[in-house]
Structure 1
Amino acid sequence: MSVHPSGRAAVPATVSVFSSPGSWIESAALDQCHQVAALDGMAHVAAMPDLHPGKGAPIGAAMASTVLYPFLVGSDIGCGIAVFPIALRRAVPERLAARFPDLDRALDPQRDADDPAWSVLAGDVPAGHLDGLGTVGRGNHFVELARVGPVLAPEHADRIGLATGDLVLVVHSGSRGLGERILREHTERHGAGPAPDPDAYLARHDAAVRWGSLNRRLLAARVAYALGAEPTEPVVDQCHNLVEIRDGRYLHRKGAAPGDGRDVLVAGTRGTPSYLVAAHAGADANHSVAHGAGRKMSRADALRRGRAKHTVEELRRTPVGSLVVCGDRQLLFEEAPTAYKRIEQVIGDLVAHDLATPVTTTVPLVTYKTPDVGAGRRRSRR
């Protein structure tokens, strides 16, 4: 327990969990919330219904403190989800999956100077960071072609400009190596301690947030051009790994999206819909909402259980009929839909706690994870 300068024990931070008895919340994740609540300066921890354990800090939480802790944001500063309308004449998953570009191959200003995706770049690349630019990354990151489902809140759907049957690109990615470098340089000197110079950290952090948003635009533009469409502006682009100053405190979000009157895409899995919501979370939730379904299994458990139940080919075709482009077999099992919580439960909890209003769903057609090298070789032999 921290101690007040007067010598009295400091009042511990409050912890609120926005879930229901039917939600899957691991005790280890709750333990991490209370560990964070015991940090010096911490005022309030709000845990979302997609809460699950992370490396040293819970994922799916918003944490308000008078002290800035970089480890509560993590290494993928600026990670977020954006939604881009896309106009295609026909959306046949089998044909479109084969046309996705190699999003493991970074855009190089010299080698790829003529790539039309550069058209979305306005000004300089934040922090001058070119490593990994235009790449999706590993883990739960993805680029997905999806179809908009039934409209659940017409007034919000009209405001956003989406209708049932529209096609969209959903892009989940972050700052790649830039955020990792920022956290590593901090932890090498200060471990999990606070930022000794918050303004200096925030300057680098803000550049990584801008970089993540640019990267999502570049990814969407690369895919749009490859599919024969023109790139568009995102109708949603919310970061869920960041810290901001609010009400005189540092509000850390790790796997939690800003919920103060913004539109948020709460990601499901590659085999379930995602939900676009109009968020209206208040101070008790640290003005935040869930960012996705949240893991139910560790990667090791998902790999072990998945190999016992599924074949690789079974995982390439999802329960909703969509296709998964992924040349990494291990990643296919680690990111299987069964490794995640039920997205309907997460959305139901947000609604029950009056944090968000569902607007519509996006149903996957093609989910890109990594290039399918084997498919490329098969096509080249024809």
Structure 2
Amino acid sequence: MDNSIQMLSEKASLIASKNTWIDGLAIEQLVASSNLLNMSKVVGMPDLHPGQGHPIGAAFLSTKMFYPALIGSDIGCGMALWQTEISIAKLSIDKLTRRIGDIDQPAEPHKYKLGTLGGGNHFAELQKVSKIYNEQQFSELQLNAKHLFLLVHTGSRGLGHGILQQYMDEFGEQGLTANSLAANSYLARHDNALAFAKLNRQTVAARVLDNLHTAGQEILNVPHNFLESISWQGESHFLHRKGASPSTAGIVIIPGSRGDYSYLVKPLANEDLLYSIAHGAGRKWRRADCKAKLENRYDSNEMMRTKLGSRVICDDRDLVYEEAPQAYKSIDSVIESMQQANLIEVIAQLTPVLTYKTKGG
């Protein structure tokens, strides 16, 4: 077994190289989750970090029942990537910043805020290819390194939140037995939220592309918070992913922080590691600690620039600090861990150009 794959207990594994920082609380939460009733296996990804009771950046496999709390409130949250027609040769960040506008308001009067990013770590980001590792695969995808890409990270907004809240009010942390009325009701609503989240990313992208007066081609649209039924070791199981991208859905993009690279990768499916890979860099600092750590060193205007030369649009001053690059792990350490575990083949590296968080306070 590769040295980046660690066995924490009989049912819990962790993918992390010696260069990957992992919070001890996240490991405790991962092992605790493996002890839930009818849990068969859990795997922590290299972006593992603590969540509310259960860790983020992990896959959880159960039989006979499933746990909505392991999916969380942002059902269907994921990453989607578009190839734009914006030429890098004619790139003007000032012009892009002016044109991108305000996409904080829903695209239409909609109960669940369709076409909006939301807060937290969600974003829309223009990126450029900085390195191609696999020319053949890049070419087969018919991508153009001379044009910018648009990456959108968001989910099901108020819809997913309402689904989990109703479930928690009625059942708390307990799981739902397969084929029960409650389980079937949750699954139907889960699938609806999954579809809404995909549409939401597409709607956000359409609004951004329209504001920038360009067209775009969708390259991928992959969730990382969802539940699916799979056959594992010949038996029917439920696979929960919370901040873990599937290795069975084609090409995936794994972003770093707003001041770090993103990587376009080809996942390599692995049953023992629950057909999953990391979904991003993963937090290193808790949100509540970020402002105190950074505001005496950097003013908010300085936080609008990154070491890679990119810019940030974020008018929420607290969020500027909460989402600072320093608050996240190095994406290279996450990629290294998965390469050592033979989980991915890297196709290309992308560099942020302009990251949109919010125009609102």
Q: Is the pair's TM-score, using the shorter chain for normalization, greater than 0.5? A: yes
Alignment of 1:43-82 (within 5 A): 43-66=40-63, 67-82=65-80
Partner in structure 1 of residue 271 of structure 2: 283
Q: Secondary structure at the match of 1:346?
A: helix
Bigger Cα displacement from structure 2, 182-191 vs 89-98:
89-98
Q: Indicate the residue corresponding to 2:5 in structure 1.
A: none
User: 1:271-291: per-residue Cα shift (whole Å, max 9, x none)?
Assistant: 111111100130111000000
Select the structure that is richer in strand: 2
TM-fit CA distance, 1:69: 0.2
Judge conservation of contact 1:267–1:291 (CA < 8 Å) in 2: yes
- Residue 336 (structure 1) shift: 0.3
TM superposition shift of 1:354: 0.3
The letter for the 1-side match of 2:284 is K
User: CA, structure 1 residues 352+138, in 2 after alignment: closer, same or farther (shift >3 Å)?
Assistant: same
State the 1:13 CA deviation: 5.7
Q: How many residues align?
A: 342
Distance in 1 between residues matched to 2:206 and 2:286, nearest whole Å: 33
Aligned residue for 2:166, secondary structure, equals: helix
Q: Give the distance between the partners of 1:195 and 1:104, measured in 2 at CA.
A: 35
Task: Determine helix, strand or coil for the equivalent of 2:250.
Answer: strand
8 A contact 2:72–2:164 mirrored in 1: yes
Matching residue of 1:200:
185
> Which of 11, 22, 26 in structure 2 is aligned with 1:14?
11
Encode CA deviations 1:43-95: one digit per residue, 9 max, x unaligned. 01011000000011110000000121000000000000000111124321121
Q: Which amino acid aligns with 1:291?
A: H
The match for 1:217 is 202
Are the aligned partners of 1:141 and 1:369 in contact in 2 as well (CA < 8 Å)? Answer: yes
**Structure showing greater Rg:** 1
Equivalent residue, structure 2, for 1:6: none
* In structure 1, C-alpha distance between the alignment counterparts of 2:350 and 2:260, rounded to whole Å: 9
Instruction: Name the CA distance, whole Å, in 1 between partners of 2:269 and 2:31.
Output: 22
Contact kept, 8 Å, 2:84 with 2:217, in 1: the verdict is: no
In the alignment, what sits opposite 1:136?
A: 117
8 Å contact 1:243–1:250 — kept in the other structure?
yes
Partner of 1:332: 320
**CA apart distance, 1:260:** 2.5
For 2:41 and 2:267, locate their aligned partners in 1 and report how far apart those are by CA, in whole Å: 20
Do the aligned partners of 1:325 and 1:372 also contact (CA within 8 Å) in 2? no
Give yes or no for contact 1:13–1:45 (8 Å, CA) kept in 2: no
SS at match of 1:360: strand
Deviations 1:316-365 (A, max 9, x none): 01111111000001100000000000000000001000000111122111
Q: Which residue of 2 aligns with 1:126?
A: none
Contact 2:86 2:147 in 1 (8 A): no
Q: Cα offset for 1:148?
A: 1.6
Unaligned ranges ≥5, structure 2? 1-8
- Amino acid across the alignment from 2:17: S
Name the CA distance, whole Å, in 1 between partners of 2:10 and 2:91.
50
Matches of 2:194 and 2:288, distance apart in 1? 30
* Alignment CA distance shift 1:139-1:261 (3 Å): closer
Task: Using the aligned pairs only, state the percent identity.
Answer: 40
Deviation (angstroms), 1:198 = 2.0
1:351 pairs with 2:339: yes
Q: Indicate the SS of the match to 1:105.
A: coil
Offset at residue 166 of structure 1 (A): 2.6
Matched, 1:190 2:175: no
Q: Is the 8 A contact 1:260 1:282 kept in 2?
A: no
- How many angstroms apart in 1 are the aligned matches of 2:150 and 2:302? 24
CA contact (8 A) 2:247 2:276 kept: yes
TM superposition score normalised by structure 1: 0.87
1:243 aligned residue (204, 227, 238): 227
- Residue pair 1:81, 1:170 contacting (<8 A) in 2 also: yes
**Deviation for aligned residue 1:372:** 6.2
- Counterpart of 2:154 (choices 173, 190, 199) is 173
Amino acid at match of 1:209: L
Counterpart position of 2:138: 157
1:273 aligned to which of 261, 285, 294: 261
Task: Name the residue aligned to 1:103.
Answer: 103
Gaps of 5+ in 1: 1-11, 110-128, 374-382
Would the aligned equivalents of 2:259 and 2:308 in 1 still touch at CA under 8 Å?
Answer: yes
In 2, distance between residues paired with 1:343 and 1:298?
Answer: 17
C-alpha separation in 1, matches of 2:137 and 2:188? 34
In structure 2, what is the equivalent of residue 3 of structure 1?
none
* Distance in structure 2 (CA, Å) of the matches to 1:261 and 1:315: 35
Q: Match for 1:359: what amino acid? A: I
SS at match of 1:211: helix
- 8 Å CA contact 1:261, 1:281 repeated in 2: no
Q: How far, CA to CA, are the matches of 1:146 and 1:204 in structure 2?
A: 34
1:229 aligns to 2:227 (yes or no):
no
Q: Distance in 2 between matches of 1:325 and 1:208?
A: 28
Q: Could you tell me how far 1:159 is from its partner in structure 2?
A: 2.2
* Equivalent pair of 1:148/1:361 in contact (CA under 8 Å): yes
Deviations 1:192-222 (A, max 9, x none): 1112532221110011011001010111110
